[in-house]
Amino acid sequence: MSEKKMRFSGLVVVLLTLPLLFECNHIKDVQPEDKDIVPSTAVQAIKKSYPEARDFIFESLIKGELWVVDFSVDNTKLRTQVNDSAIVSSIYERLPANFATYKALTDKCSIRGGEFSDLLRYAGDTSSARIMKYHWQGDTYFLEFQKDDFLFNTNRITLVSPDASLPCYVSEQQLPEKARQFFQDNNVGLKYRLGQFAVSGAEKKIYRVYALNYDFPFFFDDDGDLIWSLVANNPANSIYSVKNSELGYPAILAKTDAMYAGFDTLTSGASKTDYNGIISLRFLFRKQTGESLNPDGSINMNYINEISEVYFNANTSDLILNYYRAFIKY
């Protein structure tokens, strides 16, 4: 997997009407040179949970295998992701395109200057949590917003590596065989807990899997090969809790310069791990604007704390994950 393959690319939009679907299963594509076929079972999977669903619009994520679909139920506009027989992600409600609040926040951060689209929230969720697309520096990200009262009235923004899809959930049995085998045969006692995948712009699945009693994910490529792990089975070739520069990979570290110029790259917390020869790097960046407290001890409402973890596979120099968070007082 190359870094280029992790980037978002345009998706083919296909328009569906139910009579046409059930008569011949062919979809009239707005780009005739790249037609897709959406099976009736994909619609039936949605109709099973939402019998009144209508106005279906499909986008092909993996041609003939996986789609993001917009549809309506009564006056509510919804979005989800389906394969040929089941819903495979959360259900989201599509909201009016009012991004003023989120633009005011990103304008205060290092990720300022992007464009917004596709405002969503989890269906039935009445909290402030929102998900939206954020087009920045040539890539399209999913940006998440949440008000976090447990962090002393803080707006939290999360930005994750550019992917073409929202997370799709998979059971252990739905993982590629080699990924399943990893959890059955590993020599460090790891047991499968939760799995999901996102689709890259090259129509490839990147699997993110969590193990029992372990916080950090394991990443596998479309074939099920391990591509990143913070767990090591060769401790002699592994380093933890050091500065970014002490990992010894200046060329890979330099790939983050455009995004994290002005961040403190000397923060301890970086690591290098070796699992069966797969070398995984974790860089940690931080930038603080202002002081968290005023001289009188009160909370500084202009304080901004930006943190990012960036994961690379050192064997290939591929970017695996770019996980940015900003904490802004309100």
Neighbouring residues of 182: CB distance < 8 A, sequence distance ≥ 6: 190, 218, 220, 224, 226
CA distance 139 to 136: 5
Tally the residues of the chain: 330
Yes or no: say if 285 and 260 are a contact pair by the CB < 8 Å rule: yes
Domain edge (last residue) among 128, 145, 160: 160
pLDDT in tens, 287-317: 988 777 778 877 777 789 999 999 999 999 9
Which amino acid is present at 125?
D
Is 224 part of a structural domain of the chain?
Answer: no
Check whether residue 235 and residue 328 sit in a common domain.
yes
Mean pLDDT, residues 49-54 taken together: 96
Ranking 25-29, 75-79, 277-281, 319-323 by mean pLDDT, the lowest is 25-29
Check whether residue 58 and residue 108 sit in a common domain.
no
Question: What residues does 27 pair with on adjacent strands?
Answer: none
Is 286 part of a structural domain of the chain?
Answer: yes
pLDDT at 32 over 80: no
Tokens 């909290």 found at: 127
Yes or no: say if 78 and 70 are a contact pair by the CB < 8 Å rule: yes
Is 223 part of a structural domain of the chain?
Answer: no
Check whether residue 46 and residue 81 sit in a common domain.
yes
Q: What is the DSSP string of 180-210?
A: HHHHHH-SS---EEEEEEEE-TTS-EEEEEE
H or E, element range at 67: strand 66-73
Domain edge (last residue) among 43, 68, 88: 88
In the chain the first and final C-alpha atoms are separated, in Å, by 41
Global pTM? 0.85
Check whether residue 83 and residue 133 sit in a common domain.
no
Check whether residue 19 and residue 111 sit in a common domain.
no
What is the residue range of 267's domain?
231-330
Check whether residue 245 and residue 315 sit in a common domain.
yes
Yes or no: say if 244 and 284 are a contact pair by the CB < 8 Å rule: yes
Question: How many domains, the chain?
Answer: 3
Is 199 part of a structural domain of the chain?
Answer: no
Check whether residue 123 and residue 68 sit in a common domain.
no
Ranking 19-23, 276-280, 319-323 by mean pLDDT, the lowest is 19-23
pLDDT score for 28: 34
Is 266 part of a structural domain of the chain?
Answer: yes
Is 172 part of a structural domain of the chain?
Answer: no
Is 197 part of a structural domain of the chain?
Answer: no
CA distance 268 to 288: 15
Do the bridges between strand 66-73 and strand 76-82 make them parallel or antiparallel, or are there none, so unpaired?
antiparallel
Domain edge (last residue) among 42, 61, 88: 88
Is 51 part of a structural domain of the chain?
Answer: yes
CA distance 176 to 159: 27
Predicted confidence band of residue 200 (pLDDT cuts 50, 70, 90)? confident
Predicted confidence band of residue 264 (pLDDT cuts 50, 70, 90)? confident
